[in-house]
Amino acid sequence: MADKENLVVGTAGHVDHGKTTLIKALTGIETDTMEEEHSRGLSINLGFAYMNLENGEEVGIVDVPGHEKFLKNMLAGAPGIDLVLLVIDVNEGIMPQTIEHAAILSLLGIENFIIVLSKVDGVDKDLKEIVYEDIKDRFDGTPLAQAPIVETDAVSGTGLEALRQQITDQCQNVTNSRLDLPARMNVDRAFSVKGIGTVVTGTLKEGVLHLGDAITIYPQKIQTKIKNIQIHKEDVETAYAGNRTALNLAKVDLDQVSRGDILTTGPLKASYMLDVKVTCLPHSPYALELWDRVHVYLGSREVLARLVPIGSERVEPGQEGYLQLRLEDEVTVKKGDRFVLRSYSPLYTIAGGVVLDEAPDKHRRFNDEVIKSFEVKESGDLATLTLYFLDHRSFGLTSQKEIANYLNVEHQELEVTLEDLLADQQVYQFGQGYISENLLDQFTDQVVKLLQDYHETYPIRSGMPLEELRGNFTQVEEKDRDLLLEHLDQEEVISQDDNTVRLASFDPSLSEEQGQVKTNMEKTYKEAGFKPPKVKEVVGDDPVKVEILRSMVDHELVRIDKEVYLHQDAYQAGKEAAIEKIKADGSITLPDFRDLLGTSRKYAVSFLETLDNQGVTKRLGDKRILAK
């Protein structure tokens, strides 16, 4: 099965124009399977079949209902169709549902059509010519204007071979290249099979699914695995984008999944708002106005929403424009997904378009920056869209996978774009993450401003505590923040040591008087050795002396407790004495160390704990040994 072409052919057209009969004639498969469908003589739900092409390949077929009452079922089956057979009964010509189906399919971005004239046997030439002229007039300026027309009669078999050949020719020109994206399928049917469990069907929109793959059901976010895959009623191990697919789901009850849900191997965002580009149909009885309530059809999902025109008061029939859809239920879609709008009541198909942003903020309607953002999102230029996405991230780094998922593009295509942006220095890469030049500049400016303010407040401190600086960027992942700070260090914007960070240009300087105070402090601690004075005795209530003392930490002085400082010479001597004692005796106790230094028990405890913290010694019971 892996060699079967992953394409889907769909039917469309007015009720009772012969779509289901045509499919049975082409495939031998009856797609009306419900008792009610047989009794009423029309298709209610989606029907599915498959057929062999003239070149030996096989395609899936979706038979959508033609009756207006069941149009939402038609909308559920239309996404994922690559080629449409628009069926027109030559005896009746173009009818209301013919027009509506054609409009919907065009709004969904389908461009490949074959117009099939059905029931042609016994119809006189003049009537056919009238239908041909009507087709030409009605579909002028649409994708159907260039569609081939094939005359058929499913009962006698007239034109079926010509139609098969035309389908084969059209399918050879259709490609499905969205295999590198996370797998995603809109569920259009869900049912339970005794002894098997829950089964869902749909057209695999993107990516590849394998037997045993872990997938998520959205919007419920239910985790499950694929127990079995069927394509055209045959068990397979792999399904590709474009395949009509049936999946048997593990440990999922039927009441946990339904039409409109999405199955995916990748992440999706749930949102109550969508930014969209919309086209209002020329024959729409309504313009698209502020707070209009509408039905939105996304994939196989239907949800109610309110309209918010962006940059204009309304979108008139025949016009294009921008909208923000304010949805009444959460949806999970991706940028580039197509949708259809129908009026709230009575139900008319009025518009459709494409999703520009699946999880936007609420916008002001006539803000220039907002309108510009819509134009950027619509542009489709991958470099522009990538930069826009990265510019509007937080200060952190963004992986290639995150970018690809948001923009809904394949990784190979994105790789080329990122290489160009890196070469132009519009984007920078650190580890496996990317950041835009603008965002890196903003991060740099914020770091510089924080350090400038700190240096002005504490002009004699050697720098800001590193943890204090990091605390200003809690929205950034720790590894990303440290990579960015390391970059600024390498670029000589800042200078870091183990505990502090400062501007590379900053040089803490003391006045002559302050310098003398520092000299006196150092002399005091040096002469005190292992019996240092209390801090209060050294600095009193003088805030300048407090700052000078702090500036000496990790330089002239070592802090071994909150109120205990030693001169570096004393600390190094004590450390060496402890090391030598341990090397000689195998360990050292607190009394041993106290007596060795000739100091108090309090200071000896603080000194040994400092050695433990610095990885010089390690405590075992009441003894210390060398850590390494």
The string of DSSP letters for 467-526 reads HHHHGGGTTS-HHHHHHHHHHHHHTTSEEE-SSEEEETT------HHHHHHHHHHHHHHH
Q: Which residue has the higher pLDDT, 9 or 445?
A: 445
Report which listed range, 230-239, 435-444, 462-471, is most confident.
435-444
Backbone phi and psi for residue 147, each to the nearest 5 degrees, phi listed first: -70, 140
**pLDDT higher than 90, residue 412:** no
pLDDT on residue 71: 55
* CA 534 to the chain's CA centroid: 58
- 415 vs 330: CA distance, rounded Å: 32
Report which listed range, 1-10, 80-89, 237-246, 257-266, is most confident.
257-266
**pLDDT higher than 60, residue 294:** yes
Residue 181's pLDDT band (boundaries 50, 70, 90)?
A: confident
- 203 vs 7: CA distance, rounded Å: 9
Summarised one tens digit per residue, pLDDT across range 184-240 is 999 988 999 999 999 999 888 889 999 999 999 999 999 999 999 998 788 999 999
**pLDDT higher than 80, residue 446:** yes
Q: How far apart are the first and last CA of the chain?
A: 62
User: Are residues 62 and 81 in contact, defined by beta-carbon separation less than 8 angstroms?
Assistant: yes
Report the pLDDT averaged over residues 420-435.
Answer: 94
Summarised one tens digit per residue, pLDDT across range 324-380 is 999 999 999 999 999 999 999 998 999 999 999 998 989 999 999 899 889 988 887
pLDDT on residue 413: 87
**pLDDT higher than 50, residue 115:** yes
Q: Which residues contact residue 472 at a Cβ distance below 8 angstroms, ignoring those fewer than 6 apart? A: 446, 450
- 218 vs 468: CA distance, rounded Å: 40
Residue 17's pLDDT band (boundaries 50, 70, 90)?
A: confident
pLDDT on residue 57: 79
The domains located in the chain, with CATH, are: 7-172 (3.40.50.300), 184-264 (2.40.30.10), 270-369 (2.40.30.10), 439-503 (1.10.10.10), 512-626 (1.10.10.10)
pLDDT on residue 2: 40
- 203 vs 62: CA distance, rounded Å: 10
Q: Could you count the other beta carbons within 10 Å of the beta carbon of residue 2?
A: 10
pLDDT on residue 603: 92
pLDDT on residue 53: 80
User: Are residues 301 and 288 in contact, defined by beta-carbon separation less than 8 angstroms?
Assistant: no
Average pLDDT of the residues of the chain: 88
SS3 415: helix
Alpha-carbon dihedral sign for residues 195, 196, 199, 203: negative
Angle at 327 between CA 323 and CA 329, to 5 degrees: 160
**pLDDT higher than 90, residue 8:** no
Report the pLDDT averaged over residues 442-470.
Answer: 91
Summarised one tens digit per residue, pLDDT across range 531-558 is 999 999 999 999 889 888 988 888 899 9
Summarised one tens digit per residue, pLDDT across range 24-35 is 888 887 654 433
Residue with tokens 């092409």: 53
pLDDT on residue 424: 94
Beta bridge partners of 222: 217
- 203 vs 261: CA distance, rounded Å: 13
Question: What's at 402, amino acid-wise?
Answer: E
Summarised one tens digit per residue, pLDDT across range 56-104 is 777 878 776 543 443 556 566 566 788 999 999 999 999 988 888 888 8
Q: Which of 191, 345, 352 is nearest to 258 (CA)?
A: 191
Report which listed range, 35-44, 280-289, 403-412, is most confident.
280-289
- 580 vs 617: CA distance, rounded Å: 12
- 46 vs 14: CA distance, rounded Å: 15
Q: Could you count the other beta carbons within 10 Å of the beta carbon of residue 543?
A: 9
Residue with tokens 């002469």: 527
**pLDDT higher than 80, residue 50:** no
The number of residues making up the chain comes to: 628
Angle at 441 between CA 438 and CA 445, to 5 degrees: 140
**pLDDT higher than 80, residue 171:** yes
Summarised one tens digit per residue, pLDDT across range 488-535 is 999 999 999 878 899 999 987 788 898 999 999 999 999 999 999 999
User: Are residues 430 and 436 in contact, defined by beta-carbon separation less than 8 angstroms?
Assistant: no
Q: Which residue has the higher pLDDT, 563 or 40?
A: 563
Report the pLDDT averaged over residues 387-411.
Answer: 87
pLDDT on residue 3: 41
